[in-house]
A and B are shown apart, each in its own frame.
Chain A
Amino acid sequence: MKLTIFNGSPRGEQSNSTILIEQFLIGYNIINSDNVSINYILKSKLEKERKEIFQNADIILIFFPLYTDCMPGIVKKFFEDIADLKINKSKKIGFIVQSGFPEAIHSTFVERYLNKFTKRLKCEYLGTVIKGGVEGIKIMPPFMTKKLFSRFQDLGEYFAKNECFSPEIKKKLLKPYKMSLGRKIMFFIFSKTGMANFYWNSNLKKNNAFEKRFDKPFV
């Protein structure tokens, strides 16, 4: 059966979701060389076309970043559009939710919604893969992304063989669920040395906005 992917990132092609899809497909293509249809939910002009693609698909994976511990607004709009469809063939749907926060717990609440939404569509739920700590992967040196990319490639390869997510890889990607004591101590030390805010401060300085970082423009 043919795989159809929807990328629900509001950053579109420049997103971390795009990078994860690329890595997933490296593994997937080892087993299955069929073309995979990749569709960007961001492109609102293609709304009608996107619904047709969804209607005709057999196996669907929806990738999106976590926004306020939930799906982004554009993904919710997509869900509203497809909820109105009369599904005319059986489908399997899986989700990959990634967040900037390192801990997986942030994404577990929307997972319950995704499960229920798939049931509402009367489709088969393939589960939700959750991965935290994804922000910045575009600029990270290869040694920092090696393990993450390798796991997504393995996830793709397993999916191509079995048409489902590997429970073992899913479990590995879920870590850390919450912040461990070791990480808390490390964060405390980083906070004291200013390292915890390094990513934000370097970008604020690059944009000549560092002095305005505590602005409160609406009071």
Chain B
Amino acid sequence: MKITILNGDMNTGDSHFSDYLINLTDKLRENNSVNLFHLNKMNLHYCIGCWSCWWKTPGRCIINDDAEKIFKSVINSDFVIFASPLMAGFISSCLKKITDRLIVLLHPYIEIRNGESHHKKRYDKYPDFGLLLEKEKDTDNEDLNIIKDIYDRFAVNFHSQRKYMKFIDYDKVEDIINETNNI
């Protein structure tokens, strides 16, 4: 299975969160092909809402940075792990930055699903995904339900499914591997 892991840890030095992901990646690589991206160590810009990817250079973003490596990896993966320590009650701005830019993988044309407008597929197949988070001191169930529901909305927009939401606080690397391998 091809897997992309997007690490939204804002810390670019050593951190418990990034170490956990490196360990996870090493173990997943025993049976899978895995690309791990530490987003804050890459040259990545925010989406500027110019829509060039929809009507000037269809399927390509005009921002010249490292994002194309991620787009290529994500769309050719069977599974994506969105990973981030929670900050201000949500995933990091670094992970949100790349989540926004994944619109390049969608088509501008609209279709109606469940009484709502959504963008059509550009590609035949989109990867399902999991969320791997680290809680803040004050994280509560309300926060987690909000994150889960927003990423379930992302799944609808992205023609995919969220398969799990796990926490490095108490889910062992082996549990994530088993869950991922069983998808």
A178 with B59, Cβ < 8 A, contacts A11-B48, A65-B49, A69-B150 known? no
CB neighbours (8 Å) of A178 from chain B are: 115-116
Are A73 and B97 within 8 A (Cβ)?
Answer: yes
Kindly state the interface size class of chain B when it binds its partner. Answer: 35 or more
CB neighbours (8 Å) of A65 from chain B are: 49
Are B46 and A70 within 8 A (Cβ)?
Answer: no
CB neighbours (8 Å) of B142 from chain A are: 116
A22-30, A101-109, A139-147, A151-159 - interface stretch: A101-109
A10 to B103, CA, bound (A): 15
B19 interfacial by beta-carbon distance below 8 Å: no
Are B149 and A109 within 8 A (Cβ)?
Answer: yes
Q: Give the size of the chain A interface in residues (CB under 8 angstroms).
A: 50
CB neighbours (8 Å) of B72 from chain A are: 218
A87 interfacial by beta-carbon distance below 8 Å: no
Are A73 and B96 within 8 A (Cβ)?
Answer: yes
Are B58 and A213 within 8 A (Cβ)?
Answer: yes
A80 with B88, Cβ < 8 A, contacts A9-B49, A178-B115, A204-B58 known? yes
Are A80 and B117 within 8 A (Cβ)?
Answer: no
A116 to B71, CA, bound (A): 32
A123 interfacial by beta-carbon distance below 8 Å: no
**Chain B nearest CB: distance from A80 CB in Å?**
5
A171 interfacial by beta-carbon distance below 8 Å: no
